[in-house]
A and B are shown apart, each in its own frame.
Chain A
Amino acid sequence: MISSSVLKKISSIVGKPNYLDSQEDKIVYSYDGTQLLKQLPEAIVIPQSKEQISQILKLANEESFAVVPRGSGSGLSGGSIPVENSIVMLMTQWNKILEIDSENLTVLVEPGVITSQLHSAVEKIGLFYPPDPGSMNICTLGGNVAENSGGLRGLKYGVTKNYVLGMEVALPSGEIIFSGGKSVKDVAGYNLKDFFIGSEGTLGVFTKILLKLIPKPETSKTMLAFFQSRHDAAETVSEIIAAHIIPATVEFLDRTTIKCVEEYTHLGLPLDVESLLLIEVDGRPSIVEEDAIKVVELCKKHKCTDLKIAQSETEALKLKTARRSAFSALARVRPTTILEDVTVPRSEIAPMLERIDTIARNHNVTFGNFGHAGDGNLHPTCLTDERDKNEIHRAEAAFEQIFDESIKFGGTITGEHGTGLAKKKFLEKLAGAPAVEMMRSIKLAIDPNAVLNPGKIFSVKPRCEGTLPRSREEIKKFEELGVFT
């Protein structure tokens, strides 16, 4: 509990209308896009200046409360879910695009700018910001940088980290630094800005972000290829890349997902196919034309049953929007959809999907599978109902095995959603204890009082957090976490 006198101090920093602490407001900031997790904050603040952010962080250090930065709350690993004894710092009002520099091809934004709004602003003048997470119509750039978000265009264009040139950031101490800049080359000192990319709100609060832009591809071609076997689809992807064609997008949807997406979009997708690939090639017209022909040939070679080429930009957009809806559309089958984003090397997609099938069968749970086939980023999604505790338990067990398999294949437990709360207990398995310990040391060096989003990615002080475990069950739980080793 944060004492009422401290809450009063917080309120006086941001001013009345920017301080919320009604029960209703606490309830609606207790969650984000992650399933099964929630925690009420003690208050919500909407800072009006970086000085206010600074003051709140200083106060947090003095009065021992936690601060959880938040954008639109569309995250999928619990990164913006409040922790105990915390206030939410809502950044959505910081939504100005401050400068588009078309000579240096950079853009300076506030962290609350919505990703797709940046897209339209820069594309109007022939420029391009490639990262396009599924939730790009609502997610914020601050959230994208904090989670190092990916998207559909990751295969050719990379992810958010490839476009961050610098940022102004409020450190946990309340000090404000600017790291990076418009220079393409810059090797002065540690590359501090990279610490903050993917730090999930644990190391600083962004107040400005400087992003790199590239020229907008002149043209693009989008197509859908349908397959009777997932294996054929996966082979096609491998061969496309082996033929040295790098499409902007290669997305994969399985039968269950196709059915849900069709129910939502009414695009006329066939329901009797095992999988589909959504492929987009872009660039100069002559190259796009050539690449598209080769891609079509390769699809046919691998027994694609049908092929559809978008006839207009509107149609292409519809196809991509349909793919973006996949995750939420799966909720048509069962109310709770637990989405994961294990990522394996491209060559291991087909065997990984086989393993997911087996694991789902063994645990008697249903999965819908889709993902970014081009970069090996899969989204196995468990279709369940949170009211069925037993099934949730089985789903959790299935995911644990899926993570293990992914690691065995040389992959990772999360490709683009972040570790947050959802995957922190698996991080050590992937990274190893010394690496997690190093992350913890970095965190505590920058944030010794653990005021910024503590407990995300890893527990800050695993050996002395909370009350001592008493019951056998509790002790077992801690043993599993490796606390007593």
Chain B
Amino acid sequence: MSFEISSNITEQSPKLGGFAGVDIPNYDFITNCMHCGLCLPTCPTYSLTGLERSSPRGRIRLIKSVADGELEMTQTFIDEMNFCLDCQACETACPAGVKYGALVEAARAQIFQKRVLPLKERLLKWIFLKNVLSSKWKLKLTAGLFRIYQQWGIESVIKKSGVLKIFSSKLNDLQALAPRIDTQYSDKIIPEILKPQGTAKYRVGFLSGCLMNVAFAGINKDTVDVLLHNGCEVITPREQECCGSLQAHSGDFETARRLARHNIEVFSKYELDAIVMNSAGCGAFMKEYGHYLNDDAMYAEKARILSTKIKDISEFLIGIEFRIPTTQFNKRVAYHDACHLAHAQKISTEPRILLAMIPGIDLVELPEASWCCGSAGIYNVVHYDDSMKLLERKMDNVKSTEAEIIVANNPGCLGQMQYGANKFDVDVEIIHFSTLLKRAYRLEN
């Protein structure tokens, strides 16, 4: 087996300056940027370096220069595209409505197709993104092995021995970032079809996800329970696969599209009012299925229809007659905006409104709530040091709220901020919105 990624570039492929093949950055999106600079203060990487090339405006100009044939896809170009967190805070800030995320993802697809990434990074991406995460059984197998590693004390032995430092000085830190693998995956504890007490008011699909399934099974269970509490029949199709977002964000559109087509087939089998997400990244990406499969005659229409059904759990609950918990939930709580919820899906008021409806809750605003925590998919692994600087800023803000609980609607943020709470010694519980709601319902008994 070769880990080379098949390339779509041929002599006849369309070209735009230094870009070629499929998924060329859209030139209209590029010219839409009028370089006013209003995005700069919202960009985490610009705040880290203070250099224009690490800003959204600078990156768009670099993409434009390649498209205009004035620049090659140089190492600096590649580094800057990958240095971007793809948090899309700049899109929220942009009055002109520039689709920055689509541009930077297309640039990454170009980098990916050209195979210009270093061998080590390509190998990592090939193993994890193209294979492990995009296949349910491979992921479970890997997760199983990893669980044995985490649970049988091998982890601490390895850590103490320092053997990992041979490979990379940071590997010891990195393994603490890895999510704890659950003993029971969510597809074990969540039956394919679940009916609420009484008559069902809605019929919803549920995406159990890839990492969510093996490392955040409890949150999946909580989400399903919250849906049942709200009168939903919940269908969690067994055949579903990873949504494809991690692959797309790192430039592997081919694998992402394969997964998208598969999931469209799986979920289209059911008559559903909505497909509910508890992971911001997955939700944002599945809402874009229509865009990614636009040129696919067979799937374009199906993808568009499916995309309209995708709802974040908070977005879904606010649209129905939300069942407000009846017992006092006396906790000081702050809400952290996951980038792919606040910026990519423009959902930020919904979770706050719902939280404020819970009796007894003392909801405080987290300063810079929509500033990225540094998790950003696999960013905290690939760019550990930069990610930690952003995490420190986040945890300082968390500390200032004196909140007992921080709520975040994305597994990446949860893992990262949990790591941050330990690393920077902040006494706070970091939980998913569904978990908090489930606890509030449980207090009723």
Q: Encode contact with A along B96-117: 1 for CB under 8 Å, 0 otherwise.
A: 1110000000000000000000
Whether the pair B95, A31 counts as a contact (CB closer than 8 A) is no
Q: Which residue of A lies closest to B39 (CB)?
A: A138
Most A CB contacts (10 A, CB to CB) among B34, B35, B51, B76 go to B34
- Please provide the chain B residues from 1 to 57 with a CB less than 8 Å away from any CB of chain A in the complex: 28, 31-32, 34-38, 40-41, 50-53, 55, 57
A37 to chain B, nearest CB (A): 10
Bound Cα distance A393, B52 (Å): 30
Total interface residues on B, CB under 8 Å, equals: 31
Which B residues between 52 and 72 are near A, CB-CB below 8 angstroms?
A: 52-53, 55, 57-58, 61-62, 65, 70-71
Other-chain contact of B52, A29, A137, A330, A337 (Cβ < 8 Å): A29
Give A433-470 as 1s and 0s: 1 = Cβ < 8 Å from B's Cβ atoms.
00000000000000000000000000000000000000
- Indicate if B347 sits at the interface (CB-CB under 8 A): no
A229 within 8 A of B: no
User: Which has the most chain A C-beta neighbours within 10 Å: B31, B35, B65, B95?
Assistant: B95
Binds B, one of A18-26, A341-349, A367-375, A399-407: A18-26
- Min Cβ gap A134→B in Å is 9
CB-CB under 8 A for A74 and B36, given A263-B97, A264-B97: yes
Interface segment, A198-206, A240-248, A321-329? A321-329
Residue of B nearest to A93 (CB): B50
Partner of A33, one of B32, B36, B52, B62: B36
Check: A32 CB closer than 8 A to any chain B CB: yes
A398 within 8 A of B: no
Q: How far is the CA of A336 from the CA of B96 in the complex (A)?
A: 10
CB distance from A318 to the nearest CB of B (A): 13
A contacts with B, residue count (CB < 8 A)? 40
Q: Which A125-181 residues have C-beta < 8 A from chain B?
A: 135, 137-138
A72 contacts chain B at the CB level, 8 A cutoff: yes
Residue in A28, A260, A261, A385 with the greatest tally of chain B CB atoms within 10 Å: A28
Is there an interface contact between A35 and B34, defined as CB atoms closer than 8 Å?
Answer: yes
Which A residues between 49 and 97 are near B, CB-CB below 8 angstroms?
Answer: 72-74, 92-93
Q: In the bound complex, do residue A28 and residue B96 qualify as a contact, i.e. CB atoms below 8 Å apart? A: no
Contact across chains for B62 and A24 when beta carbons are under 8 A apart: yes
Residues of chain A contacted by B40 (CB below 8 angstroms): 72, 74, 138
Write the nearest CB–CB distance from A202 to chain B, whole angstroms. Answer: 22
- A326, B38: Cα distance in complex, Å: 12
Is the pair B41, A335 in contact by a Cβ cutoff of 8 Å? Answer: no
- Residue of A with least CB distance to B37: A74
Q: In the complex, which residues of chain A have a beta carbon less than 8 angstroms from the beta carbon of B361?
A: none
The complex places the Cα of A385 from the Cα of B94 at a distance, in Å, of 19
* B65 nearest CB neighbor, chain A only: A27
Interface contact A28-B62, CB-CB below 8 Å: yes
Among B50, B71, B80, the residue within 8 A (CB) of A23 is: B71
Q: Is A289 an interface position by the 8 A CB rule?
A: no
Mark contacts of A303-330 with chain B using CB atoms, 8 A cut-off: 1 yes-contact digit, 0 otherwise.
Answer: 0000000000000000000000111111
Give bound CA distance, A20 to B54, whole Å.
14
In the complex, what's the smallest C-beta–C-beta distance from B154 to chain A, in angstroms?
42
Chain A contacts for B31, CB-based, 8 A: 335-336, 385-387
Contact across chains for B32 and A25 when beta carbons are under 8 A apart: no
Distance between Cα atoms of A43 and B83 in the complex (Å): 23
Binding site for B on A (CB under 8 A): 20, 22-25, 27-33, 35, 72-74, 92-93, 114, 135, 137-138, 260-261, 263-264, 325-332, 335-337, 385-387
- Supply 4 further A-B pairs (C-beta < 8 A) apart from A24-B80, A32-B37, A336-B34: A28-B57, A33-B36, A328-B96, A335-B34
